[in-house]
Structure formats: structure tokens, C-alpha cells
Amino acid sequence: MEQIKDGSRVLVADIGGTYARFSYADASVGVSSLTPPFVLETEGFATFGDMLQEVLDETGRPEVNAAAICGAGPVVGDAGSASIDMTNCPWQLTEAELTKRLGTSRVQLVNDFAAIAHALPLFDEEELLQLGTGAPDKDGPLAVLGAGTGLGVAGLVPDGQGHYALIDGEGGHADIAPANTRELAIYERLLRRFGHVNAETILSGSGLEALHDALCEMEGLTCEPVSAAEIAARAATGGEPVSAETVHCFTSWLGAAAANVALTMGATGGVYIAGGIVPRWGGLFEAARFRARFEGRGKISAYVKPIPTYLVVAPDPALKGLVKIASGLLR
């Protein structure tokens, strides 16, 4: 394991619905000291505690001075007794469990997109890809959203003195609307299938699959089960029109969701796209299609057009934000 100064070792972990990533860092150095992540599949462990023990054993049980862990779900409870009931994984994360396993009370649980939000001011230029035009208001709020197993949303508001206040919530479960007759037909089929349609119903891995099913039905085709990854692969080769349209619809609705977040948070500092889906698409992601829907806000379009949008291409972005949080626990 990389050399870390005594008293400064922090453990950070991003617990997703499918994978969990653990890393150590030196709080006196910052994000540049992050060790290569230890990646495990959640389905291979009965509880978070079992997985954490595996990581500690495999890394030689080093002394941990503080820890920040994020999970896909809301944080409930007070500091020291907070917990996260994972939204897309049958686990509960608790600060009490962390304290017991790590032997330190300097632990904190945060929502996964809250962790990414904390990382926004830390990204290097090469870790971001601007989508379209626009320039950030340096005094304006920042927002991030991203599709993966679910849809995460969070933001930061600058205080004017170099610090930020977090906007945390479950914005991925806000409603979303169709913008044309084709989307309306898709939406009606999703509504019949699920009984309720929110942004995450569409903008997630399972949402991409549901979009594909709806479009197959509309075209009178037999709907075979197709994974989100396979849909993207088929769209990339251009061999299957339904997969290509699925990606187009997803991209447009993501632009709409990003605009909704920008309008709600007043995110003139920029809107960032993260998550486990779009950053992996490469050239399959059509920035122009996304941006057209982002800017198409009717009479309020002039407000959103100057707002820049970015694709986060940094690996494991949540871990950077978690280092910042964990380091703060040692001060």
C-alpha cells in the first residue's frame, strides 16, 4: 500500500447498487493521494459489514483515522447514528457499523451524488468534457446528475468565501414529462407498466431497458430481454434501429432532466453529467441532441442557454469528494 502519513489515513468508499469501490488517501495531501480502488460486486456479500471486513483484511487492516462512505439512498438520522437504506441494493449502511469495524468515531455517511457534488470544484480540466456552449457564473450554484442503477441529483451553493453548501435530496424521483407525440406514446406505455413514471423510471439502466421495450411494442416487434449495455452496443454499431432510437430518447430526456435541475437550483455555475451510463458511451452520446433539449425551455430558454453543461469523465468521481469530506473530519 502507498505510503500514507501516520494519523492522516482516510478510508473512502462509493457503494452503488451493483459495485462498491474502496480506496485510501492521505488527508494531508488530498485527492492526488488516492490509492487505486478496490472494486467488489455487492451481490457477492450478504451485508455491507461483510464487504468492509473483506476490504480491511485484503489491505492488511491498516489504521484508519477517518472514513467517508457514500451510498445510493437518502441519509437519515443524526451524526454518529446516521444510516442509508440503499435504494437499489438490499443493504443498510450505518455509521455505528463503521465505527465498530474501523475503531474510530470519525466517520460520515453521505448520499452518492452528494459525494460527487463535493468533487465538482476539484476536477481538473481534462476530467471534464464541455457539452455545447456556455460559460460558468463563478458565483453561481453547481449541479450534478447522473444515471446508473438509479438517477442521482445534487448541488453546491458557493458562500462567497471559498466554501460551499450542499443541496442534497432525491431529485431523481421527481416527475418528468414527454415533449412530443412520440415521447407521449412511450410515456403512456411506461405508465401502464409501472403505474407511476418519474425521471429515474427512464433515466437509469433499467429505464433504458424499459424504453427499448416500449419502442419494440410500438413497432410491433417481439420484445426480447436486452440489457442496457447491449442496447448501447447495438446502437453504436447502427445495426438495430430500435436500440438507436432508445439511446436518442434517453439522451433527449436526460437533457430535459438536466434543464429541470438547472432551473430548480438556479445552477448558473454549470450542470455536470456523471453516473455509470453516459460517461461510458463515448461518441454514442450526442451532445447536440442533449443540448437542444436542455436549451428548449420555451419562454425561459434565454435563462438556460448561457449555462454550461459538462460530462464528467474522471474515473471514480465520488471518491474525490469523499476524500474532501473525510479529511474535514480530522480537522
Q: Do 142 and 111 share a structural domain?
A: no
- Tens of pLDDT along 13-70? 999 878 899 999 999 999 999 999 999 999 999 999 999 999 999 999 999 999 999 9
Helical ranges in the chain per DSSP H: 48-58, 95-102, 112-119, 181-194, 199-202, 205-218, 228-237, 241-265, 287-295, 301-304, 317-328
- Read out DSSP for 176-202? ----SHHHHHHHHHHHHHHS--BHHHH
Q: Do 206 and 155 share a structural domain?
A: yes
Q: Quick one: cell of 97?
A: 457499523
Distance, in Å, from the CA atom of 324 to the CA atom of 321, rounded to the nearest integer, reads 5
C-alpha count within 13 angstroms, C-beta hemisphere, residue 275: 23
Question: Binning pLDDT at 50, 70 and 90, where does residue 309 land?
Answer: very high
- Tens of pLDDT along 282-294? 999 999 999 999 9
Q: Do 111 and 151 share a structural domain?
A: no
**Has residue 32 been placed in a domain?**
yes
> Which is more confident, 87 or 235?
235
Q: Do 252 and 103 share a structural domain?
A: no
Tell me what pLDDT residue 37 has: 95
Phi, psi (degrees; rounded to nearest 5) at 326: -65, -40
Q: Do 291 and 184 share a structural domain?
A: yes
Q: Do 98 and 205 share a structural domain?
A: no
Tell me what pLDDT residue 2 has: 59
Q: Do 249 and 108 share a structural domain?
A: no
**Has residue 4 been placed in a domain?**
no
Range of the domain at 96: 9-118+316-328
Q: Which of 109-113, 242-246, 254-258, 303-307 has the least mean pLDDT?
A: 109-113
Q: Do 176 and 273 share a structural domain?
A: yes
Per the structure, how many domains does the chain have? Answer: 2
Tell me what pLDDT residue 162 has: 86
- Tens of pLDDT along 212-267? 999 999 999 987 889 999 999 999 998 789 999 999 999 999 999 999 999 999 99
**Please, what is the angle between helix 112-119 and helix 317-328, to 10°?**
90
Q: What is the mean pLDDT of residues 149-174?
A: 91
The 10 Å CB-count burial string (b at 16+, else e) for 166-177 is bbbbbbbebebe
1 has pLDDT over 60: no
Smallest Cα–Cα separation from 329: which of 159, 154, 79? Answer: 79
Question: Binning pLDDT at 50, 70 and 90, where does residue 96 land?
Answer: very high
Q: Quick one: cell of 214?
A: 416500449
Q: Quick one: cell of 79?
A: 451524526
Q: Do 43 and 185 share a structural domain?
A: no
